[in-house]
Structure 1
Amino acid sequence: MTSDFRGASADAVATLTGELETTVSGSPEVAAQVSGDLFSVATTLRGEATLRRFVTDASVAPQARQGLVDQVLGGKVSEQALGLLRSAVSRRWVKTRDLADALEHLSVVALVISAGDQASRLADELFEFAQAVKENPSLRDALSDPARSHHDKARLVDDLLAGKALPATSSLVVQALGGSHRTVGVALAEYQKVAAEAQHQGVATVRVAHDLPEHERTRLAGALERQYGRPVHLNVVVDPSVLGGVRVEIGDDVIDGTISGRLEDARRRLVG
């Protein structure tokens, strides 16, 4: 999501991320609370155009913007979140929507921090739930049905993940139901990228005909790390249509070493 910000907005997000990390460092409970507060404010800003325009208006003195935040949100969010919000509204934003999007981004980072040394498991669980939504039409329909309330959908998520996933995973899936992304699947994919970025990792989707044993995953991850210059988190998708070999998608790059890919390439050359 950070790549979606430009100019002053990108600078603001980078600064605020550093402030967030300092604010919640060493306290998973505080990180989780701040995450919920920031996401709630992001939702409010998207629904309140007048408030959104005022707190992002560069012609209004930063002190006035901060004063309004204190007046509207004081006592309604944690002190840590309020400090971050005061900092956020004092900064310049390229587009009015950037502030709300930045707060959603920061809320994801805070939940990743709350997971501590289980952040990699968090990324895996986000991917696995996204795959479940993709492969289960009834679940996908239930989570996207406009006739169902957000509370009802959140309860469904809780029922599915209770005792099976990290609290941070459940919180992020519930956030995905009401965030800025058009579908739950898109939101979860973006949230996983944020989780990886918070750990200074890339994300690679690996398609194989059969699941990879752990030693092969480790070897592939090592090869990608050497190629891209940073650790890479693997999302492994078992897809029998690839027949054999491995297809890796990382960012805009595609490394196709599958049998089906080679057959398709040969077919194109014959046709051409």
Structure 2
Amino acid sequence: MRGVSATSLAQVLETVGGSTADGSQGVTVGTEVFAVVAALDANPVLRRVLSDPATESDAKAGLVRTLFGDKIGAEALDVVTAAARGRWSAARDLADALEQAGVQAVLSAAERDSSLDKVADTLFAFSRVVIEDTELRQTLNDRSASAEGRQALVTRLLGGQVDEASLALARQAVATREHGYEASLVAFAQDAIAREGRLQARVTSAYDLDADEKQRLAGALARKYGREVHVDVTVDPAVIGGLSVEIAGERIDSTIQTRLADARRALVG
């Protein structure tokens, strides 16, 4: 977002920080904010009214309290009210800002539990499951089907298997407007990494690295790049051996597959 929308987004996120300072209610606040986003998506007229710069901010705040005051908690209501008081370059910026606010609220709970890495790993892993299952991918990306039905499917697949922050974000990825489902999962995982100030290292390996191997690789990359690193591993037997690492716009490729390809090119001349 740019201009006035960026300023308003910063104010909304500041409100989230105050409403979820200890993280204890983060998932609840985030889930309630997501419910408001769904209501705005379903009602373009309401979205335009709440983002209309010609309408007094107090009037918009009053409308929010009237419509949602008895449906969501006080912390989530504060966040939505802050958004309604903001100025937005486009009506959709309001809903987008609230979604970002909801994501950060949920991640505050993961931060409190020291599980941001776990949330990122869970979302990255589920994105790969979705990509590899054509039928599941089509189902979760089918916008002709109800968001509620697709969210219920996510709950059936992940409920009881993952932490509540990961589940809340995996459910919300169904309803995002900018990306497809699996891309939204990746974006939320990257938000979790960024919240800790880490870099993401996308690693391709012939086998899944164990915890010690990931830790050693993360340490080596942290020393090289001067920041803590989250290692996300994709297994591809075709690389045969070695690793390919994409981080901070760079690619470090030491796979046997690439070495063989380089050798073949050298022989050809």
**TM-score category of the 2 structures, normalised to the smaller one:** 0.7 to 0.9
Matches within 5 A, 1:100-119: 100-115=95-110, 116-119=113-116
AA at the equivalent of 1:187: S
Q: 8 Å contact 1:204–1:234 — kept in the other structure? A: yes
Match for residue 70 of structure 1 among 65, 72, 78: 65
AA at the equivalent of 2:16: L
TM-aligned CA deviation for residue 269 of structure 1: 6.5
For the residue of structure 1 that corresponds to 2:245, the secondary structure is strand
Q: 8 Å contact 1:55–1:89 — kept in the other structure? A: yes
The more displaced of 134-143 and 76-85 is: 134-143
TM-aligned CA deviation for residue 15 of structure 1: 3.3
The count of residues paired between Structure 1 and Structure 2 equals: 267
Q: 1:245 to 1:81 in 2, by over 3 A?
A: same
TM-aligned CA deviation for residue 270 of structure 1: 6.8
Q: 8 Å contact 2:11–2:82 — kept in the other structure? A: no
Q: 8 Å contact 2:23–2:105 — kept in the other structure? A: no
Q: 8 Å contact 2:15–2:78 — kept in the other structure? A: no
AA at the equivalent of 1:240: P
Unaligned runs of 5+ in 1: none
Give the alignment's TM-score, normalised by structure 1: 0.87
- Does residue 1:199 correspond to 2:196, yes or no? yes
TM-aligned CA deviation for residue 166 of structure 1: 0.6
Please tell me the root mean square deviation across aligned C-alpha atoms, in Å.
2.4
Give the alignment's TM-score, normalised by structure 2: 0.88
State the partner residue of 2:176. Answer: 179
Q: 1:148 to 1:45 in 2, by over 3 A?
A: closer
State the partner residue of 1:11. Answer: 7
Unaligned runs of 5+ in 2: none
Query: What is the distance in 2 between the residues matched to 1:23 and 1:146?
Result: 32
- Does residue 1:252 correspond to 2:249, yes or no? yes
TM-aligned CA deviation for residue 146 of structure 1: 5.1
Matches within 5 A, 1:228-243: 228-243=225-240
TM-aligned CA deviation for residue 271 of structure 1: 6.8
Query: Structure 1 vs Structure 2: percent identity of aligned residues?
Result: 37
Query: What is the distance in 1 between the residues matched to 2:59 and 2:268?
Result: 67
State the partner residue of 1:134. Answer: 131
Query: What is the distance in 1 between the residues matched to 2:73 and 2:266?
Result: 62
